[in-house]
Chains A and B, each alone.
Chain A
Amino acid sequence: MLAERESFVRRARSLPTDSKAESLVTAVRLTMERDDGARKIVIFTESLTTQNYLRDLLMNDAGLGDEEITLFRGSNDSPRALDALRHWRDEVAASMPAHSRPSPSVAVRLALVHEFKTSSKVLISTEAGAKGLNLQFCDTIINYDLPWNPQRIEQRIGRCHRYGQVRDVTVINFIAKDNEAQRLTFDILSSKLDLFGSVLDMSDQVLQTPRSDGSEELATALGPEFESQLRRIWDRARTVEEVEAELRRLRDSMEDSRRELQEIRKQTVGLIETRLDESVREVFRNIRESLPATLADFDADLERVLLGYLTACEIPHEPADTGGSRTLRIDPSPELPGALAEHGITVALGHSSEDESIHTAHPLIEAAIANARASCRGAYRVRFAIADDAAQSLQRRRGSRGRLALTRISYRGFEREDRLLVTAVFEDAEVLQPAAVAHELLLQSCRDLDTFDVPMAVTPDDLDEVVDEELFLDNSAVARAEQAAFEQTMDQLDQYVEDRIMVLRRARAGHAERLGPAEQKRDRALGSDARAEADQVVKRWTQAIERLDEQLGKLIAREDAVYERWKSFAHDRRYGGAEHERLLEAEFILE
């Protein structure tokens, strides 16, 4: 293995020139000489080593000075980056209000962008730079390494090709001409996924804006799948020919996916043009013509709720006239909520610039609704007029009586969800099903009844029993989805620990490799000093291995604070239970 690696190094060193590097230097020079460009270049690479290599290369061969090159990486803590941060604080942050100054990690990113914008010419960025930066003042992107995931390429391009960009953006990709597999990969990325081609251009022209979502949506839809397929091909194939054959197959399948996505997109655009415009016009028409009347109706409803509440609770109130708007003076009463009980209140019915208007979240309205809910349990009676187009199972029940409940179930697991459960039980003990029909019952027009001539045969206990059963079944149905989410979360958590275990094992294997020769050296050492020194080395490796073993033991036994915390979180989500509240209960007759 070692000999093999040494032969790679020898072969690499014997190469007369780095033609890829030469091409980069040429590309940088040509860009800098363009009269119509911004003379700013972002170079993307996937490795920190390459990033340093490219900086040296451009300084030595492209005639750029150190101050003309900005390096951007995941952790920007180099002295150069800290210098940039100091400048940015003096030049930009000093004039920012204190509350809007960013965190240190964001500040250093902004500082490096500021340096690139104002003084340097080339930004060499690792993958960390490809997200979130605004580089629209730059018009040339060089992909020195091409990632396999088209979504990441899209993100890179998106740094420059975005709102605010006034020039055409040039994207230069580096491909080895004689590497058929790499060429095919690029072919898929460029022509089949349209990353650098027609979609960007066409969408720009059609929509007159840079950065339409066309290519990004394509990349997002196909990106992860594409990347995993590429990885699979490279992992599994045993010869270059196999790689090429697999890539050709992938290219063809991507072409199909692309066509399918574009077709869907075309249809969507068509829908937007033909339908949504009309819908938008309709909305505006409604706002202009119907909204005032609707709001007036709504205000009238609120007024009816409020007056009903005040009257039912015998809270003294009287209309008052305060210069144009209608108001209501409500006297203090122990029945009123909060501080209103002591002071009373004057509220406006409808819009008023003088007094507080009532609205749905007003304490008076909330109290009115709570009071109405409390009072409509038990002896509340309604007559439903079943519409002619209602479900058959409702229509054939005309003349039947029963008891119904509306229950809200709140799930707070992995999926947070509130469900409304309508339960209606007829006097012959039949339960109105399915759930959709039970919900439809509540949408039928109805009016209140004072009493029934004959007492209702379905008791509140009968209804409770059916509600309990439906709650039980609903809980079971939700539990199945929650269990799947729980298992997935626990699996991810285990993977996290397994990854850490693997890293420690790798380190342990490295230490163990060093321990053997160290022990040999100690055994062969001549003289007490040399032996003591060699013994120290052995002890150091032994202790390091013991420390790793201890950490490994804890992780294997899952004695780890992070693991425990997330496990507890997952348990809380999965087994948090549901809460339910009876919102309404009534006796009914269907007509």
Chain B
Amino acid sequence: MALTILHTADWHLGRRFTSFDQESELRLTRARLEVLSRILDLAQSRNVDAVLCAGDLFDSASPDKEWWQGALDEFKRRDWQRPVVLLPGNHDPLLPNSVFDAHHPFRSGLPDYVHVVGEDGFELPLGDKAVVYATPCRSHAGQTNLASSLPPREPGDKRIRIGLIHGQTFDIDGYQTNFPIPRGTANERDLDYLAIGDTHAFREVEPNAPVPTVYPSAPEATNFGEKDTGYVAVVFFPRDRARRALVEKERVAAWNWRAQTCLSLGDLRELRSDENLRKTVLRLKLDMTLPLDEYDEAERILTELKGSLSANPRVGVLDEDRSGMRLAIGDVCAFEQNLPPVLQSVVRRLQAEAAERPEVAERALHHLYQLTRD
């Protein structure tokens, strides 16, 4: 019979999102635990033979109890036989008293089917047809090639060999490496698949190499600018190592992260017409100077994106930087002409004030525009 595994990494449970408001932070942190549930459900649905997590399950070596307890509950509620292997990465290295320490209640509370890579030269047979070799990170940074400790194939060993390590490959020029994984490692160690974790994009390193080396991506993104996140790899190994393993990328994320700068009202209008914003964490930077009527429209679009008491927000989580959105102060003459003399003088004073306190003056002018518009 053939073998199937689910390979995941970089859950970063415990990552805080302090730049967001409390409610948004709660939604994003909750999504991190929920994706764990989705990953294990998917493993069950695809009836995989093992689940391998290639490091950085937690965002730190000593996460708050709510995080390790949440993960522990998720494992304990399943009556499984299929092994799950958890590898300490550089964010959650195997240190004394860390979450992976043998005495920590997380590790000691794990059900039997969950295995922590708690020593160098870890080896876990998957029946008699395959074996997983792994080595944990023991520090936040290091120059050791952890793959070098994976044992060579014994003569006559026909089993499928899967390597599980955390580190950075050398395939991106100029990329600073931490726990480096040299090119060709998978082939050199006579593996059939090298399951790695660290960078957050789904990537098959050296796609044409005879043995796949795969980053499965962070199942929920951890920051803006990360591309191709939100997946796990489901891997099929033909029996008796007859052909190269097949790697399928399966989406599990609930959120898309996106950073966007709007340079004009047109950009903002286009953004509003996007139908996929509800499940998006959007960092929106506004960099534009607008006449009063357009400034007013931009404000209304922003309200629509953020939501109000009468309409739900169009964007799931919005991180808005509007410091670059300015009112064209010199362009308020037409508006001023239709006002009574006393308000005209207010407008002129605000225009003068703009030199000292531009943001306050702009908001006051816009407010006056709204009050007198109708």
Judge whether B2 and A505 touch: CB under 8 Å.
no
CB-defined contacts of A475 to chain B, threshold 8 Å: 46
Instruction: Say whether, besides A476-B234, A491-B278, A577-B46, A558 and B30 are in contact (CB < 8 Å).
Output: yes
Within 8 A of A (CB), among B283-318: 307, 309-313
Judge whether B246 and A473 touch: CB under 8 Å.
yes
Judge whether B254 and A575 touch: CB under 8 Å.
no
Closest CB of chain A to B232's CB: distance in Å? 11
Nearest B residue to A558, CB-CB: B30
CB-defined contacts of B1 to chain A, threshold 8 Å: 464-465, 468
Judge whether B246 and A469 touch: CB under 8 Å.
yes
Complex: A498 Cα to B312 Cα, angstroms: 7
Sample 21 A-B pairs with CB under 8 A, ordered by A number.
Answer: A461-B239, A464-B1, A465-B239, A465-B242, A468-B1, A469-B2, A472-B2, A472-B246, A473-B246, A494-B278, A495-B312, A502-B310, A502-B311, A502-B312, A556-B26, A571-B37, A575-B38, A575-B44, A575-B45, A576-B45, A577-B47
Nearest A residue to B239, CB-CB: A465
Extra contacts, 12 of them, besides A465-B238, A498-B313, A571-B38 (Cβ < 8 A), are: A461-B239, A468-B236, A473-B246, A476-B248, A483-B250, A483-B251, A487-B279, A502-B309, A557-B26, A571-B41, A575-B42, A577-B47
**What 0/1 readout, one digit per residue, does chain A (552-591) give for beta carbons within 8 Å of chain B?**
0000111000000000000100111110000000000000
Closest CB of chain A to B140's CB: distance in Å? 32
> Size range of the interface on A?
20 to 34
| A217 contacts chain B at the CB level, 8 A cutoff | no
CB-defined contacts of A574 to chain B, threshold 8 Å: 41, 45
Judge whether A487 and B246 touch: CB under 8 Å.
no
Within 8 A of A (CB), among B1-25: 1-2, 4, 23
CB-defined contacts of A509 to chain B, threshold 8 Å: 309
**What 0/1 readout, one digit per residue, does chain B (32-48) give for beta carbons within 8 Å of chain A?**
00000110011011110
Binding site for A on B (CB under 8 A): 1-2, 4, 23, 26, 30, 37-38, 41-42, 44-47, 234, 236, 238-239, 242, 246, 248, 250-251, 254, 278-279, 307, 309-313
Nearest B residue to A552, CB-CB: B23
Complex: A19 Cα to B85 Cα, angstroms: 78
**What 0/1 readout, one digit per residue, does chain A (437-466) give for beta carbons within 8 Å of chain B?**
000000000000000000000000100110
| A479 contacts chain B at the CB level, 8 A cutoff | yes
CB-defined contacts of A494 to chain B, threshold 8 Å: 278
CB-defined contacts of B278 to chain A, threshold 8 Å: 491, 494-495
Nearest A residue to B278, CB-CB: A491
Complex: A476 Cα to B42 Cα, angstroms: 11
| A506 contacts chain B at the CB level, 8 A cutoff | yes
Closest CB of chain A to B305's CB: distance in Å? 14
Judge whether B254 and A472 touch: CB under 8 Å.
no
| A59 contacts chain B at the CB level, 8 A cutoff | no
| A485 contacts chain B at the CB level, 8 A cutoff | no
Nearest A residue to B293, CB-CB: A238
Complex: A575 Cα to B40 Cα, angstroms: 10
Closest CB of chain A to B87's CB: distance in Å? 24
Closest CB of chain A to B259's CB: distance in Å? 21
Closest CB of chain B to A467's CB: distance in Å? 9
Judge whether B309 and A505 touch: CB under 8 Å.
yes
Judge whether A472 and B236 touch: CB under 8 Å.
yes
Nearest A residue to B40, CB-CB: A575
Complex: A473 Cα to B238 Cα, angstroms: 12
**Contact residue among A490, A498, A556 (Cβ-Cβ distance under 8 Å from B254):** A490
Complex: A492 Cα to B2 Cα, angstroms: 38
Closest CB of chain B to A225's CB: distance in Å? 14
Closest CB of chain A to B279's CB: distance in Å? 6
Closest CB of chain B to A502's CB: distance in Å? 6
Complex: A483 Cα to B42 Cα, angstroms: 11
Closest CB of chain B to A509's CB: distance in Å? 6
CB-defined contacts of A558 to chain B, threshold 8 Å: 30
Nearest A residue to B297, CB-CB: A238
CB-defined contacts of B310 to chain A, threshold 8 Å: 502, 506
Complex: A575 Cα to B238 Cα, angstroms: 24
**What 0/1 readout, one digit per residue, does chain A (526-564) give for beta carbons within 8 Å of chain B?**
000000000000000000000000000000111000000
Judge whether A465 and B42 touch: CB under 8 Å.
no
Complex: A587 Cα to B178 Cα, angstroms: 54
Nearest B residue to A467, CB-CB: B2
| A67 contacts chain B at the CB level, 8 A cutoff | no
CB-defined contacts of B309 to chain A, threshold 8 Å: 502, 505-506, 509
Instruction: Say whether, besides A468-B2, A469-B236, A556 and B23 are in contact (CB < 8 Å).
Output: yes
Nearest B residue to A503, CB-CB: B309
Nearest B residue to A466, CB-CB: B238
Judge whether A465 and B2 touch: CB under 8 Å.
yes
Q: Which of A461, A472, A490, A506 has the most CB of B within 10 A?
A: A472
Complex: A24 Cα to B246 Cα, angstroms: 72
CB-defined contacts of A490 to chain B, threshold 8 Å: 254
A-B pairs with the 10 shortest C-beta distances? A575-B41, A575-B45, A468-B2, A577-B45, A476-B248, A472-B236, A465-B239, A498-B312, A506-B309, A483-B251
Complex: A464 Cα to B240 Cα, angstroms: 12
CB-defined contacts of A576 to chain B, threshold 8 Å: 45
CB-defined contacts of B250 to chain A, threshold 8 Å: 476, 479, 483
Judge whether A472 and B44 touch: CB under 8 Å.
no
Closest CB of chain B to A460's CB: distance in Å? 12
